Structure formats: C-alpha cells, structure tokens
Amino acid sequence: MHNRQGQIVAGRRTIKQAIRNTICVDRTRQTPLVVQIVSQITTCIESGDWPEHARLPSIRRMAAQCDVSTLTVANAYNKLVADGLLDVQAARGYFVATRPTAAPPAPTPGTIRPSVDSLWLLQRIYEEPSQTLNAGCGWLPPTYLYTDGIRQAAAALARRPDPEIFSYGNPYGHRGLREQIQAFLLRDDVPCDLASIIVTHGASQAIELATRALTRPGDTVVVEEPGYCNLFPALTALGLNMVGVPRLPQGPCLDSLRKVFEQYQPRFFFINTRIQNPTGTSCSPYVSHHILSLCEQFGVFVIEDDTFGALDDENSPTLAQLDRLQRVVHIGSFSKTISPGMRVGYMACPPAIAASVLRLKMASSLTSSSFSETIIHHIMSDGQFRLHQTRLKERLKERRRHIAAALESNGFTLYAKPRGGMFLWARAPDRFNVQTLTEAAQERGILLAPGTYFHPDHRPSSYLRFNVAYSGDERLHDFLSGG
C-alpha cells in the first residue's frame, strides 16, 4: 500500500513538473493551439515522463497554465482520449491510459471510452481538408444529402423570416415541424398526441434524455451486440450497467432476451428495429411481436432508435407502431436524409415520459435550435423531399450491391444482405487479424471500423462495418486485396 501511494505521489509530481517545463503554446506558429498541446502531451506520455494512471490537471487549470481557452484544452484532451493516450473517468477527470498490448481492454467502471464514430469526428477536426478515406464511418457524404433543399430553405427564410428563428422557441420544438412529425407517424400507424412529440438537438440528445428519464445511476439496461457504438460510452457516463443480447439477422435473440430480463430486471431495452447499426438488418414481424410481449411481461421499457428507418427499402413495422406508444420511446432523426449538420432529432413517447423528458431538456439546454428546426420544417413542406428520399434509397441500394460484391471477391463474408441503409457488416477472411488490418489501413489513410468497437466490453471481433457510400474507392479494395 505504501509503495502504491508513493507511485501515485511521484506520478503527480512528475505531471506537475512536466507542465511547468514543457506544456506551452507559441501563438506565432501556424500550428493550431490544440495540435501544439496534443503533441506536447503525447511526447510526455510516450517518453514515459508521465506515468500510466497519473491524473492530468483539470481543463480549467491547464487552460490557465497555457493561457488558452478551456475549449482549446477540452478539444486537446478529447483528441488524446480518441488516440487512446488518455482515459476520462466520470466526475474524476482525465488520466494517462494504460497502453494496450493486444486488443483494447474492457472499460473499467466509470471509464468512458470513445466510440468508433467519435474517433472520426475528433480526427476530422485536426485533418481538414482531409484525404482520409472514411470507409467505416456512420454518416453519408455531402453529395448524398439534401443540400439543395437546405440552400433553398435558407433563401426562402431570408426573404420571409419565420419569427421563431429569432427567439429561444418552444421547449417542445418548432410547432409546425412537430405537426409534420405527427402526420408521418400517423401515416405509419403510430398514433400520438402533439404533446408526446419533442424535438431535440439530434438523435443523440433524444437518447440521452430518454435514458435519464427512465433510469437512475446503478440501474441495468439491455443493449444489442453488436450494437450502436456511440451508445455505450453514453450509458457508462450515466452510471448504468449494460447487459448485451446477440443481434441475429432477424432481430435480437429472443431466448437470450428472456434470460436477461429474468436475471437482471432491466429498466429498458435499446434497439435499432430497422436498419440496425452496424449490421444493417431489420427485425422480422415475428421477433418484434415477441420483443413487446417480453417487455410487457417483465415491465421493461423500450428505447427504439429509428435513426436509419427512413432508409429502409421495405418500410418494415416499428415497435412503436405495434405497441401504440404504450412502453416504447420512439426516436428519429433527419441527419441521415437531410444533413447531420442541422442536428435535428425527435422523440415520440408516452405522455408521462414526455413530461419528464421536457423538464430534463429545459434544465440542460432550455430549447433546441429554432433555426435548424425551421429549416427542416421548410424542407419537409417541400414536395421535392420525398423524391430525394426515394432517389437516396435507390442510390444506396446500388452501392450496397456493388460493395457487397467487391468485399466478397476479397474473401469477406457478409453477415446479411440488408434491405436498406448504408452499412454492410462483414467478417474478415482468416488471413487477416482485424486489429492489425485496421492499423495498417490507417497508415494508408483508410479508416476502418473494427467490430470490437460495437461491443460494450470491446471484445475482439472478426467483423468490420463498411459504409457503402465511402467504400467504392479503389484505394480500399486495392488495400484489402493486397493485405
């Protein structure tokens, strides 16, 4: 015990000395301040001057030391987390990470590890204009999005501004947009009152608010494996325990789901019913009915993330449609069809949950973006949007066919052939070690999405997620065929 305390004290002393001697910025250089801080901290860690598990100064303290903004330091620390050099522990701060020698270790309780998509976003901050090929990222290229609609909406609003643009707006969100959401939910046979619809700052905020409304720290929740990678660090940050159930081509394994419900009595089950991320699969009606039956039997709520549902070629039924919003919180987004930059999502949920979510939203952000919501409302009023959505699905269908054939020709095995969306989930041939393959690809400017990131415990996986909209580049297939 004495030796351990001595190591910690020595580690803190080393960190303080390193800050005093090495961490500084030079504003006369063209190198961005964030990059300067990242580079210097990286050197301190890799040289061994900063030992593993040593605690870094708070963001505010480091900002004062370097005479920069707290945002600059926050961006630097987040980049180092993404690079695996730092860990961030809820309510404690940033620590020098244990350097992995093999597959990434399972996170310890309270440790927040970045998701695969957050790695992309952090890297893009420092590499624009970037030549990196984002072969596994979770969004569409600008050429696939409804950029013309955004420009037209902005021009129309410049001529005749909507009064809501200039105010905080309604905490529920833009009323006209909520009425449009209500209308298309009714077309899908999902009945809901307007008071049950809340517009959010993207689907991510909707997921966080729904989670906070339904749980307390220490509760257990159920997730799919493989599943949505951004969800896992978010649930960890909220102090929740995750239990996974296997995602099969027709939906989650029902036998596993029943056993987990019996053993853990979870608060909710998180699921992508349609176009699941990362497998691209959709639940069969049989599986969907049984999910709801089990949830009713064990008193479990459902958070249904339907972010990719608008890209479903077959318009499969959702759990919200079958459940009539009794115990399902249904979440959607306009990021995948219009633009992720607008950051507009929504949820439709039972009235009691909606009231709790609204209080949490107001406490954290008052309202969401009136400007973005007004733009989306204008676009949804345009008859051309449905034509864009139809063309987008056809374009992705052709890309899936082409990329699937290319992957199979390189020895990859598809988990399933999705009926929509942008993802293919494929098992690498035996000649590849996925971690080694991912590292080699990065050296060539290709970012792959290894399957380990799509499991809560970061277990090794022989699968990778491919985004068909980015995976047609010859550099990728030349690399895979020559690996």
CATH number at residue 239: 3.40.640.10
Is residue 428, in this structure, part of any structural domain at all? no
What is the distance between the alpha carbons of residues 323 and 332, in angstroms, rounded to a whole number?
16
Question: How many folded domains does the chain comprise?
Answer: 2
Tell me: do 70 and 218 sit in the same domain. no
Predicted local confidence at residue 432, as pLDDT: 92
- Domain termination residue (choose one: 348, 380, 412): 380
Is residue 115, in this structure, part of any structural domain at all? no
Tell me: do 157 and 239 sit in the same domain. yes
CB 310 within 8 A of CB 276: no
**Tokens 């970012």 belong to residue:** 447
Rounded to an integer, the average pLDDT of 248-277 is 97
Tell me: do 230 and 332 sit in the same domain. yes
Tell me: do 229 and 309 sit in the same domain. yes
Tell me: do 88 and 164 sit in the same domain. no
Predicted local confidence at residue 110, as pLDDT: 58
Is residue 306, in this structure, part of any structural domain at all? yes
Is residue 175, in this structure, part of any structural domain at all? yes
Between 365 and 195, whose confidence is greater?
A: 195
Predicted local confidence at residue 34, as pLDDT: 81
- Domain termination residue (choose one: 79, 102, 125): 102
Tell me: do 212 and 335 sit in the same domain. yes
Q: Give yes or no for residue 399 having a pLDDT over 90.
A: yes
When pLDDT is cut at 50, 70 and 90, the band that residue 347 belongs to is: very high
Rounded to an integer, the average pLDDT of 266-282 is 98
Predicted local confidence at residue 175, as pLDDT: 94
Q: Give yes or no for residue 129 having a pLDDT over 80.
A: no
Between 20 and 243, whose confidence is greater?
A: 243
When pLDDT is cut at 50, 70 and 90, the band that residue 100 belongs to is: low
Predicted local confidence at residue 88, as pLDDT: 80
Tell me: do 98 and 151 sit in the same domain. no
Q: Name the average pLDDT for the chain.
A: 88
Predicted local confidence at residue 103, as pLDDT: 47
Is residue 205, in this structure, part of any structural domain at all? yes
Domain enclosing residue 44, as ranges: 2-102
Tell me: do 178 and 49 sit in the same domain. no
Tell me: do 216 and 300 sit in the same domain. yes
- Domain termination residue (choose one: 322, 354, 380): 380
Q: Which of 13-17, 248-252, 271-275 has the lowest mean pLDDT?
A: 13-17
Residue 74 half-sphere exposure, CB side, CA atoms within 13 Å?
4
Predicted local confidence at residue 6, as pLDDT: 47
Between 246 and 115, whose confidence is greater?
A: 246
When pLDDT is cut at 50, 70 and 90, the band that residue 132 belongs to is: confident
Instruction: Indicate the pTM of the whole model.
Output: 0.80
Predicted local confidence at residue 75, as pLDDT: 76
Tell me: do 176 and 292 sit in the same domain. yes
Tell me: do 166 and 41 sit in the same domain. no
Predicted confidence (pLDDT) per residue in 301-318, tens digit: 999 999 999 999 998 999
* Domain CATH number, residue 98: 1.10.10.10
Predicted local confidence at residue 16, as pLDDT: 52
Enter the tokens of residue 432: 């590849």
Is residue 458, in this structure, part of any structural domain at all? no
Is residue 110, in this structure, part of any structural domain at all? no
Q: What percent of the chain has pLDDT over 70?
A: 90
Is residue 443, in this structure, part of any structural domain at all? no
Rounded to an integer, the average pLDDT of 246-256 is 97
Predicted local confidence at residue 183, as pLDDT: 95
Tell me: do 158 and 94 sit in the same domain. no
Q: Which of 27-31, 98-102, 125-129 has the lowest mean pLDDT?
A: 125-129
